[in-house]
Structure 1
């Protein structure tokens, strides 16, 4: 079972991906974002585990680029952000108010 921090981080990942012109961010850059914006201080491997969870749920696709992974928002991930569907293990966009 996912912790609230994991569910919140996964939502934050999807939201941040949606802000990018190409809907994609490397795990190294996302690690910095999670630390500076949400104070989630976790290693890059933890971020990549969240990417893998989101991939398994169909919310992102992942490309390996050298030593980092790049996640790209999928249509299913975008639908979750629009509250059209709910992805288990990912906080709902409206849950935080």
Structure 2
């Protein structure tokens, strides 16, 4: 059986990045730490080491979708206007799954 040439690791990373942005958007202050993000990703069956999660958060920071600060072994992400615009479908951030169309 063929996998149709799909890079599932890439799909998983891009999906995780969207989940991170959505989780941040649900917070009153737009902020979560990597330990909370790790728990949220696990709900979506994305169970990865903290270093992998930090890599996804850093990817989002490089694209100005989040601001990161470090606190010991965790990183704290805060959603930016660019991240919000991706969620609102005003822009598309490369390497982040596009949110679904809103239902009318």
Q: TM-score, normalised by structure 2?
A: 0.86
Q: Give 1 or 2 for the bigger CA radius of gyration.
A: 2
- In structure 1, runs of 5+ residues without a counterpart are none
Query: Superposition pairs for residues 12-91 of structure 1, below 5 Å?
Result: 12-35=19-42, 37-91=43-97
Once the two structures are superposed, residues 2-45 of structure 1 have per-residue CA deviations (whole angstroms, 9 ceiling, x without a partner) of: 7101111000000000000110110011111101x211110111
What 5-or-longer segments of structure 2 have no aligned partner? 1-6
Given the alignment, which residue of 93, 96, 99 partners 1:93? 99
Instruction: Find the residue that maps to 1:94 and give its secondary structure.
Output: coil
TM-score with structure 1 setting the length: 0.92
Cα root mean square deviation, aligned: 1.6
Q: Which runs of 4+ in 1 moved over 4 A?
A: none
Q: What SS is found at the alignment partner of 1:93? A: coil
> Take 1:94 and 1:21, find their aligned partners in 2: how far apart are those partners?
22
Give the paired residue count: 95
Q: Matches of 2:76 and 2:84 in 1, distance apart?
A: 17
Higher helix fraction: Structure 1 or Structure 2? 1
